[in-house]
Amino acid sequence: MRQPATRRNMNSMPQSPVTRPPLPPLAKGGRYAPLRGDVRLGLPRRDSLQIRNPISEIQNRRGSVLIVVIGLLLVVMLIGITFFTFANQEHSSAEYYADSAKVYSISPDMTLFEMALEQLIIGPHDDNIQSVLYPGKYSLVPNELGLFGANPKGRSLTTIPLDRHPYTGGFGINIISGPQGQPILDQNFNGKDDALEGLPNYFDLIKNINLSGAVQLSPTYGISQASSRQQDFNNFPAIDVGYTYPDINNLFLAYIGNTSVPSPTVGNPPNVYSVITPSFIRPGVPARRGRESQQQLANRPDRGATTVAPRTSSTCAW
């Protein structure tokens, strides 16, 4: 009856040292000595066992944060440069597009004024032979430097000076008074009318004041010596005379003054009259053709070359 109890007591007793597997001996060198893996348990073999120090590892990685920050800054800078370049290109494209859509126009009044002012100062273009100032003989700057030449880059462009020295053209057109007070041409300074001397290559310079194509290209009243700019340069005297006076050589100048005439009554003071000579008009020059007014001269086709006033009988020349 007591045998089952004995079997229970045997199970509760500790195991014998013989049944537990023995521990491997500790190698030389302590815990840092190389250990062999337990082949029986399938453990990998380790040559050594090391315990890392976290503080020393942090000290070895101190520059890594700076490198990361510099890298981020470079990325941001690259993005900024890319954005600036793209924005600048878009801005230029927008300006070009806006300029192409604009229409630059000047009011008709300003266009006509600027065209007239250019002809008055420099002279008309070589393709504007219809202008009464063509070829620029009576314009301000050519009257100082001499007749301008055609622009080699195109007839529609501004003429260019051929001489850059002012007032070196000599005496110009020389007019003296005839027996009846009429103006006569005396280019050889002998006191006689050149028309009566039979001079070679003579033509009436007084009669041909208007050199525009509207007059000179007329087959009836024009002359071959004034058919083009080059012909004017070759046949007419130089226009940059060495003096300044409102005569036929300085047609752009005007004169406003007074003159006195003796009184027909003895003892009375002389009569004073105002004298006005407008620009581009010389009332005394056409007097040799008769005492006609400017309006009468303007309406007569045979007197077109003697005045620069507008005319109803001018020839349309382009």
How confident is the prediction along the chain (318 residues), in pLDDT tens digits per residue?
444 444 444 444 554 545 566 666 655 555 544 445 444 445 555 555 555 555 555 556 677 788 888 999 999 999 999 999 999 999 999 888 888 877 666 566 677 788 888 899 999 988 888 888 888 888 999 988 988 988 889 888 889 888 888 988 888 899 888 888 888 889 989 988 898 888 888 888 888 888 888 778 777 777 888 888 888 888 899 889 988 888 888 888 999 999 999 988 888 999 999 988 888 888 777 544 444 555 555 555 555 566 665 555 444 443
What is the reported pTM?
0.55
In angstroms, rounded to a whole number, what is the distance separating the alpha carbons of residues 91 and 86?
9
Predicted confidence at residue 290, as pLDDT, reads 46
Predicted confidence at residue 77, as pLDDT, reads 95
Q: How far is CA 102 from the centre of its chain?
A: 18
3-state secondary structure the chain: CCHHHHHHHHHHCCCCCCCCCCCCCCCCCHHHCCECCCCCCCCCCECCCCCCCHHHHHHHCCCHHHHHHHHHHHHHHHHHHHHHHHHHHHHHHHHHHHHHHCCCCCCHHHHHHHHHHHHHHCCCCCCCCCCCCCCCCCCHHHHHHCCCECCCCCCCCCCECCCCCCCCCCCCCCEEECCCCCEEECCCCCCCCHHHCCCCCCCCCCCCCCCCHHHHCCCCCCCHHHCCHHHHHHHCCCCCCCCCCCCCCCCCCCEEEEEEECCCCCCCCCEEEEEEECCCCCCCHHHHHCCCCHHHHHCCHHHHHHCCCCCCCCCCCC
- CB under 8 Å to 285, separation ≥6 — which residues? 175, 183, 206, 209, 248, 306
Predicted confidence at residue 76, as pLDDT, reads 94
* Inter-residue contact 229 to 150 (CB < 8 Å): yes
Predicted confidence at residue 223, as pLDDT, reads 84
Please list, residue by residue across 195-230, b when 16 or more beta carbons sit within 10 angstroms of its beta carbon and e when fewer do.
Answer: eeeeeeeebebbbbbbbbbbbbbbeebbbebbbbbe
Predicted confidence at residue 199, as pLDDT, reads 87
